[in-house]
A and B are shown apart, each in its own frame.
Chain A
Amino acid sequence: MSLRSYRMLVAAVLVAEATLLTWNAWRFDWLRGYDASGNDLYARVVSADLRLPTVAETSVWHTPPLWFGLAGALRRMSDAAGWEPVQRPGQLLAAAAGLAVCVVAFLLARALWPERRGLHLLALVLTAASPALVRASAMYHPETLAAALAGGGLLVCVRGLRTGPTLATGAGAGALFGLAALTRAWALPVLAAAAVVMALDARGRGSWRPLLALAAVTAVLAGPWLVNEQLAHGSALAFNRPAPETSLVERRPASFYLGPRTLDVYRHPVTPAFRNELLPHLYADWWGDWALTWDTPPPPAPGQLLGQGVVTARVRQDALGLVPTLLALAGIVALGLLALARRSAALGLPPLAAIAVALAYVLFAVRYPSTDGDTIKATYLLVALPAAAVGAAFVVDAARPAGRASAIVVGVAVAAFVVAQLPFLVL
């Protein structure tokens, strides 16, 4: 691929994604996203009263304040300008952060394999066409900002690890991870993975200053929030409900781990089917819209049934998601193996970050069971998206036969994958 075509394709994908995310944020009713009312109250309290909300005021008091501060400031500006709804700038902020996640995935692929342009493009397109990212980018919610900031921290670390981390690497990554941790706690497993890999690298090089800078800057930014949570609520990672007192093993039934109704993702992948069965529930929510909050009318009007087209669209999404899911899993395993074989910290960080996010998420879902399944949401895993997309792109690029013909086949398949998803992705 020539440099000119490459640049044009990257620009085209980014412009298309920016248009899609802006359009969706404009059309999506901010109240349809989860925690919407609680988020709005938090944003108002932070920006107007310059304080954190109390437990009694909102159910999302446990979420760090950065996004709410930004969304609250935008809300006040909208209010002053008489722009309705005042939450829309917050949705546009989420859309901008969603676009930033795409850029991060692209740059991550480029940082790892600078010469493989097809791989960069594939990572970009797989990220941009992820339904969970597209849906979260329309919501009035901090998920995409956390994913963009944590992804940025990951990118700075990987770049530094390729050539030898400097003080600027540590400080830059620490700033991004610190801000990410001030947005959503889901950034913390990515930070932990980065710290482990940076420590291993530091031991090998005998230079600990980048790691110390990472730790110091992160602590300065996120420390006050975590200390406040510890002092005010008894845990730095406090959640909006107490964990049951039973042992972790007893908190979820076997069906949570086994997912016996997995095949229903290809029959009826919407609430409440296979609720609280971890893998099918997450899969249907990532590729489709398990909770029916996307393009459906709010709960069926009296006398109306859920249209068959609504279910069919989600079944199609779940069918389309099978191959990319396989590729993402394969990519995480392949990059991990390759990193071990080559003793490459840069290659090892993305899969380790994805695994850390997955483990932290499973622990959370087991720790806080809920009858309505509200602790199982695909968007909680968005911080792992850049690593998963880069892994999937790597597998395709490494496994395909060399030559122009196979590149064209991959290009056509990816284009078909995107086009098939458009009816679902565009509101």
Chain B
Amino acid sequence: MAPRPLTEARAARLGLLVAVVVVGAQLVVGAAWSLSHDDPTELDLTRRCFSREMALRVEGTTGDPVAAAARGGTLTTIVEGNLVTIAIVTSSGEAERLRAAYLALGGDVESRLEVRGRYVRLWRRPPSPSQRRTAAGCEY
């Protein structure tokens, strides 16, 4: 029996079949991952980003009651030699509260404090642009 000629409609259907299989396989990979992993919190994502993508050592925060009060959690890491305490907030109001609490400590806090989105960061020394960029690279 002679093979069926490849009409345009048949080529289009074959193309669609291949595309659906490829995209479907990608969605299956995503679904399998999603089902086998809990939805990570912002703290988990941030911790993972610093440790896996930026190859930084991440630890829990100690001795900082302001950061400890953050509803989203807190962590500490060292970026290019500068220690930074990161608090994750859940609202703009909470970010403002943490900022006010840090500023109330006085001294040079203002030059060491960064508030961006969900993140309130207190650096040990005023951060360099490169240190800021690295920290901002792990914002979710």
Contact = CB atoms under 8 A, between A and B. Distances in A.
Interface of A: 258-264, 268, 271-273, 275-276, 279-280, 299-300, 302-306, 322, 325-327, 329-335, 337-338, 341-342, 371-372, 391, 394-395, 398-399
Nearest to B28: A262
B18 A259 contact: no
B15 A263 contact: no
B15 to A, nearest CB: 3
A305 B118 contact: yes
B104 interface: no
B interface secondary structure, majority: helix
A399 B136 contact: no
Contacts of B20: 326
Nearest to A371: B53
Given A303-B95, A329-B15, A398 B26 contact: no
Given A306-B117, A329-B15, A329-B18, 8 more contacts: A263-B33, A299-B116, A304-B95, A304-B117, A334-B15, A371-B137, A394-B12, A398-B11
A302 B15 contact: no
B30 A326 contact: no
A interface secondary structure, majority: helix
B138 interface: yes
Contacts of A306: 117
A206 to B, nearest CB: 27
Nearest to B114: A302
Contact of B27 (A262, A273, A303, A341): A262
Interface residues of B, number: 41
Interface string B91-106: 1100110010000000
Given A306-B117, A372-B137, A334 B96 contact: no
A331 B8 CA distance: 11
Given A299-B116, A303-B99, A341-B6, A334 B23 contact: no
